Amino acid sequence: MNQISSAFTLFTSLLVEAMPFLLIGVLLSSSLIFFLDENKLITKLPKNPFLGAIIGSIFGFFFPVCECGNVPVARRFLLKGLPTSVAVSFLFAAPTINPIVLWSTYVAFRGQPEIVWLRVIFSLTIAITIGCIFSLQSDPRPLLKPRLAKRLTALIEGQKEEKNINIKEYSLLQSGSFILGEKGKPIKMTQSLLDDTDNNSLSLWQKWDLFINNVQYELRELGGILILGSAIAASIQVFVPREIILNLGQGTITSIVAMMILAAVVSICSTVDSFFILSFASTFTTASLVAFLVFGPMIDIKSIGLMLSIFKPRMILYLTAIAAQLTFIFTLSYSYFY
């Protein structure tokens, strides 16, 4: 009984600490509806693939979205004809390289600021590397889902009808404006509203409604996952014998691998994942904590599910493999040299 009660206390402590940061993240990403003119921003981007990869990866500062928000944005980038390198590096860096995530990581690891730095450096390097790799493929269409590729073809050829749908339909910075499993049918959600308008021509009142709905949606979905993740973290801390965790967490390689698997499974939002990982801070190596913080926002069950709406499975496999290898090599060499 005592065990359960202390697990519950740890669980609520994680939630109470994480909730404000989740809320700030959600409010900011939703408020982009008011502030950001995506179309304007896109025209100012460099077309050079390498520069694009760098710009794309620091875009997170202007799009403070976590893993659930970045996929729709990356998808719109692609549909608007941006180079693959920009979209891909944005996809991988944005959940980490943004002010809220850095703040929450700092709060959680005030005593170990190197974790914050390593997280930034490794995430940026990996995102830019992956961006550069895919800049070799100047035409993104073979990587995309057939439906999306077709739309892009249509866009490029300037077919007017198609174009209307493409651009108008996705002009909202809303994390949910696409669907996973809908067979061949694009979303109807905001179509009736946006058929002849763009996000910017909406009245303030309509924007407010979209804002509230987006906050509600993201809070609900991310909050639900946060709760499941916290429950896992608290139970591991209380119910798994210390000896087992220590054995796993003190090995250089086992700890990194364990943390990367944990990151992929738990799917916790990047604004609050540092609180989650804090519960392992005293038993796991620093390198493995960094591996969790770098790999988790890039690849996990949730984000793979979302990415399936953009890329072919083969492409996701490549992305996962590259990200995993790079994370492993970087963190391993960190633990080797320090």
Partner 1 sequence: MNNSIKQDFWLNLLDIIAIFLWSLLLFKYWITGELNLLIHPNYFSLVLITSIIFLLLTIAKIIQLFNYYQKNHNFHNYTNNNQHSNLLPKGWASSILIFVAILGLIIKPMVLSSQTAMQRGVTDTLPPTTLETQSFLTQTSPEKRSQSGAVRSLIEWVRTLNAYPEPDTYTGQPANITGFVVHLDHLPENYIYLSRFVLTCCAVDAYPVGILVELPKSRSNFPVDSWLEVQGIMKTETLPPVDSSQNRKQKDKRQLVLQAKEVKTIPTPKNPYAY
- Should residue 247 be labelled a site residue for partner 1 when binding is judged by CB under 8 A? no
For partner 1, the closer CB: 224 or 313 = 224
Q: What token pair was written down for 143?
A: 């990587």
Which residues, numbered 276-295, are part of the site for partner 1 (CB under 8 A)?
A: 278-279, 281-282, 286
For partner 1, the closer CB: 97 or 307 = 307
Stretch of 127-135, 169-177, 251-259, 313-321 contacting partner 1, by CB under 8 A:
169-177
Residue type at position 205: W
- Should residue 309 be labelled a site residue for partner 1 when binding is judged by CB under 8 A? yes
Q: Nearest Cα to 323, choosing from 293, 290, 298? A: 298
For partner 1, the closer CB: 134 or 311 = 311
- Should residue 302 be labelled a site residue for partner 1 when binding is judged by CB under 8 A? yes
CB of 50 to partner 1, least distance (A): 32
Q: What token pair was written down for 16?
A: 């109470």
Among 117, 220, 247, 253, binds partner 1 (CB under 8 A): 220
For partner 1, the closer CB: 114 or 139 = 114
- Should residue 304 be labelled a site residue for partner 1 when binding is judged by CB under 8 A? no
> Binding string, 179-208, against partner 1, x = CB under 8 A?
xxxx----xxxxxxx---------------
Cα angle 58-62-64, degrees, rounded to a multiple of 5? 95
Which residues, numbered 87-116, are part of the site for partner 1 (CB under 8 A)?
A: 107-112
Which residues, numbered 46-75, are part of the site for partner 1 (CB under 8 A)?
A: none
Q: Nearest Cα to 280, choosing from 253, 240, 225? A: 240
Which residues, numbered 127-156, are part of the site for partner 1 (CB under 8 A)?
A: none
Half-sphere exposure of 240 (CA within 13 A, CB side): 16
CB of 121 to partner 1, least distance (A): 20
CA 213 – CA 219 distance, rounded (Å): 10
- Should residue 3 be labelled a site residue for partner 1 when binding is judged by CB under 8 A? yes
Among 243, 336, 337, 338, binds partner 1 (CB under 8 A): 243
Q: Nearest Cα to 90, choosing from 99, 101, 98? A: 98
Q: What token pair was written down for 125?
A: 């390097």
Total chain residues near partner 1 (CB under 8 A): 71
**Environment class of residue 318 by beta-carbon count within 10 Å: exposed (0-12), middle (13-18) or buried (19+)?**
middle
For residue 243, what are the CA distances in angstroms to 48, 134, 237, 252? 52, 43, 12, 16
- Should residue 266 be labelled a site residue for partner 1 when binding is judged by CB under 8 A? no
- Should residue 217 be labelled a site residue for partner 1 when binding is judged by CB under 8 A? yes
CB of 9 to partner 1, least distance (A): 4
Residue type at position 188: K
- Should residue 252 be labelled a site residue for partner 1 when binding is judged by CB under 8 A? no
- Reduced to 3 states (helix: H, G, I; strand: E, B; else coil), residue 144 is strand
CB of 30 to partner 1, least distance (A): 11
CB of 105 to partner 1, least distance (A): 11
**Environment class of residue 222 by beta-carbon count within 10 Å: exposed (0-12), middle (13-18) or buried (19+)?**
buried
- Should residue 212 be labelled a site residue for partner 1 when binding is judged by CB under 8 A? yes
Strands (E), the chain: none
Assess contact for 18 and 226: CB atoms under 8 A.
yes
